[in-house]
A and B are shown apart, each in its own frame.
Chain A
Amino acid sequence: MSDENTSIPEASPEPSASSPAPTPEVPATRRQRFAAWRAARPFWGGTLAILSGVVLWFSGRLQIDNFEIQLGIEGMQSTLLPVALVLLGVLVMTQPQFRVFYGVITLAIAVYSLLGVNLGGFGVGMILGVVGGILAVSWMPRSAEAEGTASSTDETPAAASAAVPADPRDGQDVSLAEILPFDDEPARGGRHVAVVAAVAVLAVAGTGTTAVEAAAAPAAQVRTASDCWDPLGWLEWACGSDDEAEPTPSPSPSATDGPGDSGGTDDGDDATAGSDAGVAGGDASADDATAGEDADPPTPGQAPEDAATDEDATDADGKDSDKDGKAEEDTPAEEQAQDDVEKEFKLELGPCARITFGGEYDINVSLPGDCGKREDANVFSIDGELETRDLQLPLTGINGIDVVNVPVTNDGPRRDALRIDVDYVKVPGFWLKTYADNNGKVGGTLTDADYVSMEGDAQMYISSIHADLPDGDDWAELGEKIAAGASPVEILLGLTDARIGLMGATSDKQVWSGFREQVWEE
C-alpha cells in the first residue's frame, strides 16, 4: 500500500538522471565516490540482472558440432535470453530513468527463462533475474525518494538534505550497505528485504509441488552406483564384471574349464586356478606352454581326449585343440581339403569372392571386386567389426546368400558385399566396433551385448569374414560338411571366433539384450 504511494511520484521524470545526486564536495575516497555512483542508479538490480544472464548463458550452452539442424528456436533462446539480460542490466545502470521499462523486460525474460533456457538455469538464473528486475523497477533516485519519505514519514530535514547517505551514517550503516543490496536508506532497505524475502518464499512455494530440497538425497530413490564405473572403456579388462559380455569369449569358459580339466592336481578354489594353471603349463610340453596365458592347461594326457570330444567346437575346447593341432600338422588331406573348400566357396559366391588362407588355419573371405548385383536401397559407410561367440542360425538355415554391389561413402562410390538373408538369427556374445572420423582422429563406438537377435526379413551385409579354423582335422570335417551340401558361408559364420566385417544389417525387429555401448577414441 505504501508501495503504491511511493511508486506514483517515482513515475514522473527525475532530475537525478542528468545530475546524479547533488553531491556535496565531502566524499573524497574512492569508496565514497563509488557509493555515490551506486546510489544514483539501480545498481543491485542491474548487477543481479547481469549475473542472471551469465548464469543462464553457462547453463544453457549447447556445444555439439554437427548441430546446424538442431539449432532451432531452443538454441537461439539459450543464447539470446542471457545476452538480453546482461544488456538490460547494463542499460538500467547507465539509463536509470528507464528503469521501469528495463526492469519489467528483465522480469519477463527472467520468468520466461524457466521455460526457455534449461529450467531458468536450474532456477538460479531465473531467481537472480527476477530479484534484479524487481529491484530495478522499484528503485528510485535519492531526491525523489527523500521527498516521498519526508512527506510520509517524519524524517529530519538534515537527513533528507544529506543526499549521500554514506558520510554521516558511515559507522552504523556501511556494514549493511556493503552486504545487502539495499543501501539507499534504512527504511527502504527494510522494505526491500521484506520484498526479497517474499519473492524467495513464494518462489520456493511455487515450486512447492516440485519441492526444491536442499537436502541430502535419500539413497533409496537413487539407483545404486555400479561397482566399477568405466564410461570410456579404459578399464575394460579390470572392470569386466560378470554381467558384461566379454569381447572375446576365451576368459569365461576357461575359468569354468580350469578346475574341471586339472581337477586331479588343482586342490585350490577358483581364485587360485590361474596360478595353478601356470604351474601346469610349465609342466606341459612346449606347445602347451603357450596356452598358459589362457589359464587353460591341458596336460598331455588330456589333450587327445579333448580333441576327440570337441566335435561341436565349444569355445574353450576350440582353443585347446587349436594349440594341440599345431603338433600334428601337414596331413596331405588338409591341402586337398583347402582346395575343396576354396572351390566350394567359389561355387557358392561366384567369381567375385576372394578366398585366402593365412596363418596356420586362417581362412579369409573378402569381396574386393565390383561385380555383384546392384542394390541401391541403403547407402553404407565404413564397415564395423563384428565378433560373436557363435552365430545361431535357424534350423531352416539361410534363405539366401548373394553378392550385391551397394553404394558406399568410403573407398569409392560402390563396393561388393555379401548379403545374407535369414528369417531369424541370434548373435550371442555380440561385439561390434564401429568407426567414425572425428576431425582426423579415429573414433567410434564399441557395443557389446549378451545377445543380439534379428528377425523378420533380416539381412546382413558383410564385406569380409575371417575365421580361425580350430585345427587341421577340421579341414576334413569342413570338406565333408560342404560335400554333404552345407553352405560354406553358413559354416564359416557359425565358427567360433569368426570376425566379420559388417557393413550393415537390417531387419524388421531387432533386440539388443543387456547391451552396453561406449565411445572409443584413439
Chain B
Amino acid sequence: MPLRRLLALACAVAMVPSFAMAKDTIKIGFPIPLSGPTSVYGVPILKGAQMAVAEINAKGGVLGQDLEILPRDSKANADEAVRLARELIIKDGAQFLIGTLTSAEAPAVSTISKENKIVFLAPAAKTTQLTSPQNIHPYVFRVASNTAIEGQSGAIIVSKWQVKKIATIAPDYAYGRDVMAAFTAHLKQLRPDIEIVDQQWPKLGEPDLTPFITAQMSKQPDAVYCALFAGDFLTLVKQGTPLGYFKAIENRLADGGEVGAVDVTQPLGADFPYGIWADAYDPVIWPGKEPAEHKAFIERLKAFMKSDVGSGWAAQGYSSILALVAGIQKAGSTDSDKVAAAMAGLTYETPLGKRTFDPKTHDADAGEFWGVMVKDAAYPYAIISSPTYYNPAPMTN
C-alpha cells in the first residue's frame, strides 16, 4: 500500500510540470537597446510590442498559447546582441527573435537566426545589407523600412523643388552611407541637372556640429537632404538655427530620420525649424484623413505607455508582433520552419495599414509618412501637415 501511495504521489509530482507544459507560452526573445543614445527608439519599440502581446493574450493568445516577450538590453552593440540572441535561444528557450535597432546589430543577429533556424524579425534596422542576396536566408524578415526606400523617397521630394545645388549630411556609418547612396543615385535619374555640392559625415552622436554646418554653408547649397536623427537632429537644429543654416536654404531641408515623429518634435517645441520636410513610421498626430484603427491604436498606446504624446516608434514593435502572429496562424504551428515558410509573401495588418513581406527579399513594403512640418494651434510643437505615404521601392535588392 505505501508503495502504491508513493507511486501515486510520484505521478502527481510528475504531472505538475506537464500541466505547466500545457500552459507554456510562446517565447519571443527581444534583444534591443534599452540604454545609451539609441534607447530613445529601443524603449518605445519594446513598449509597442508589449502592448500587442497584452492585447493578443487578453483575447486568448495564439493557437491557444499565450505570448511572452523576453526583453534584453543589446546596448546597440552587435557583439552583445549576438551573445543575447544565443543565450535567449539556448538558455531561455526563445522560439522566435524580434529586435535589434541599428544596422550593425541586425545583420549580426541574422547569422544567429540562420544557424539556429529561428525566425527573426527586424523592426528598425534599415541597411539593405540585412536582406541582400548574399545575406538572405529563410528565417530573417524585415518589418522596418530600408535605406533604398528612404533615400529614394528623399530624392522624389527634393526633385520637386526648384533648386540646382543640393548638399547632404548624414551620420558616418552603414545607415547614413547607404541612404545617401540611394538618394544620390535616384536624384540623378530624376533630376540630372541638380548638382550635389557638398556631403558632410559627422559621426553618430557628434556633440558639436558647428564646423560641419559652417563648412556646408560655405558651399551655398539651395537645399539639403539630411539623415541625422534623434539627438543628432536636435543638435543640428540648435546649432544651425543661430548660424542661419535653415534661413540660408529657406528651410528647404528634407530629413529621413523619422524626425517628424512626436519623439523629436515634442522636446524641440517652438525651436523646430517649421517648413522643413520630415518623415515618421507613424506620424502619431494625423491631421486630415486619419484611419480609425490608427486613432484607436494611439489612444490605447498613450494609456499603455502612460504618456501624453505617445511615440512614433511603438508601431514598429506592435506591427512586428502582429506579423509574427499572422505567420504562426497561417502556419498553424509554432514550428520555426513552417512559420518561416508561411511568412514569405505574407500580408499582415498594422495600425498604419496592410504590409506584405516580399517572398524573395523578405522585406516588408514599408515606406514612411512624409510631409511638411507646420505649426498647429492645437499643439505646442510641430506636426506633419498632411502625412503622405511614400513607398517608391517595394522590391529592392
Question: Do A and B interact?
Answer: no
Using a CB–CB cutoff of 8 Å, the interface residues on chain B facing chain A are none
Using a CB–CB cutoff of 8 Å, the interface residues on chain A facing chain B are none
